[in-house]
Amino acid sequence: MSYLTGKPFRYSIACYNLAKLPNQPDILRMVAAMFNDLPRPIIFAHRGASAHAPENTLAAFELALRQGADAVELDAKLTADGQIVVIHDQTVDRTTDGSGRVKDLTLAELRKLDAGSHFDIAFRGEPIPTLEEVLKAIGQLTFVNIELTNYASILDQLPEKTAVLVKRLKLSRRVMFSSFNPISLRRAHHLLPEVPIGFLATPGFSGSFVRSWLGRLIVPYLTLNPEHRDVTPKIITQLHKLDRGVLTYTVNDNDEIDRLFQLGVDGIFTDDPPLALRIRNLAKRNRSPNAPVKS
């Protein structure tokens, strides 16, 4: 389904933003141009190409681009001294040679850590990047889903600082904000209404509130981002009728990716972009059997 490239979708983006931004047609055109022009289903490299390189490092993001991922997902949070860094967990214990909570460590302390060796010794010395470093390195080359992961400090300044950075780097056409934290999404949306919002739903019963119509009341989202096992034909149909999309996380299994693509999801988050690209190419080839085969 070409739903996210069609006129109804462009119209819905306009409505979605006009509520906040009257008389700014240029911004509306910019949003439509960027997000809509990504291939469907969109293949987001989850924490970069994290099946092939250490997650949330520049090495993983650059590899994702070389592998042909359409877009990149990353996890942003604040250090003790208010800098935005890219790391998934609330602590550095799993992915570095250090220990402690990210929010208790300064950027200088975090920069001394090795965020590569836990994955493979070949990546020894790979640092935890700042969001600014990542956006400067790849922001003009791809589309970036910035997950606002201030889950251990839900009222901190992450949304404001992220919005200011995106604006300063002139990347508001090339990013979207996502989060399980509705407060962060509302605050980011208030500052940069032209940036699409993806509302993440936790798996199973705990995410049912977000997946229901109540979720749409809380956050003016453009995409609902449920866990892949919660994606059903009904949820896709409902959201497409409302001119919203479904981006689902985190799917690395061949058959499951195939199922989701056949259901008509608008995008997936995967650690393994080459796998997802092969499945998407195969599906396209099967739809048009005479098309030339691309490697």
Least CB distance from residue 23 to ligand G3P, whole Å?
33
Determine how β-strand 175-179 pairs with β-strand 42-46. Answer: unpaired
| Residue 143 touches which of Mg ion, ligand G3P, none (Cβ within 5-8 Å per kind) | none
Exactly one of 52, 88, 228, 240 is catalytic; name it: 88
* Nearest CA-CA partner of 229 in 213, 255, 248: 248
| Residue 178 touches which of Mg ion, ligand G3P, none (Cβ within 5-8 Å per kind) | ligand G3P
Least CB distance from residue 290 to ligand G3P, whole Å?
36
Question: Which residue, 28 or 87, has its beta carbon nearer to ligand G3P?
Answer: 87
| Residue 250 touches which of ligand G3P, Mg ion, none (Cβ within 5-8 Å per kind) | ligand G3P
Least CB distance from residue 267 to Mg ion, whole Å?
14
Residues near ligand G3P (CB under 6 A) are: 46, 73, 75, 88, 147, 178, 200, 225, 249-250, 269
Q: Where are the beta strands (DSSP E) in the chain?
A: 42-46, 71-78, 84-86, 143-148, 175-179, 197-200, 223-225, 245-248, 267-270
| Residue 200 touches which of ligand G3P, Mg ion, none (Cβ within 5-8 Å per kind) | ligand G3P
Question: Which residue, 45 or 113, has its beta carbon nearer to ligand G3P?
Answer: 45
Determine how β-strand 84-86 pairs with β-strand 71-78. Answer: antiparallel
| Residues pairing with 245 in the sheet | 223
| Residue 55 touches which of Mg ion, ligand G3P, none (Cβ within 5-8 Å per kind) | none
* Nearest CA-CA partner of 165 in 141, 194, 190, 134: 134
Determine how β-strand 42-46 pairs with β-strand 71-78. Answer: parallel
> What's the CA gap between 195 and 105, in Å, rounded?
30
Least CB distance from residue 115 to ligand G3P, whole Å?
16
Closest residue to bound ligand G3P by CB: 249
CB–CB of 174/140 below 8 Å? yes
Question: Which residue, 53 or 200, has its beta carbon nearer to ligand G3P?
Answer: 200
Q: How far is CA 214 from CA 53, 77, 217, in A?
A: 38, 27, 5
Residues near Mg ion (CB under 5 A) are: 75, 147
Q: How far is CA 170 from CA 44, 99, 136, 192, 194, in A?
A: 21, 35, 10, 11, 12
Question: Which residue, 96 or 223, has its beta carbon nearer to ligand G3P?
Answer: 223
| Residue 211 touches which of Mg ion, ligand G3P, none (Cβ within 5-8 Å per kind) | none
3-state secondary structure of 264: coil
Least CB distance from residue 108 to ligand G3P, whole Å?
25
Report residue 21 as tokens.
Answer: 């931004």
Q: Amino acid letter at 132?
A: E
Least CB distance from residue 105 to ligand G3P, whole Å?
20
Question: Which residue, 17 or 57, has its beta carbon nearer to Mg ion?
Answer: 57
Is 118 among the catalytic positions? no
Question: Which residue, 28 or 270, has its beta carbon nearer to ligand G3P?
Answer: 270
Is 228 among the catalytic positions? no
CB–CB of 202/180 below 8 Å? yes
The catalytic residues are: 46, 88
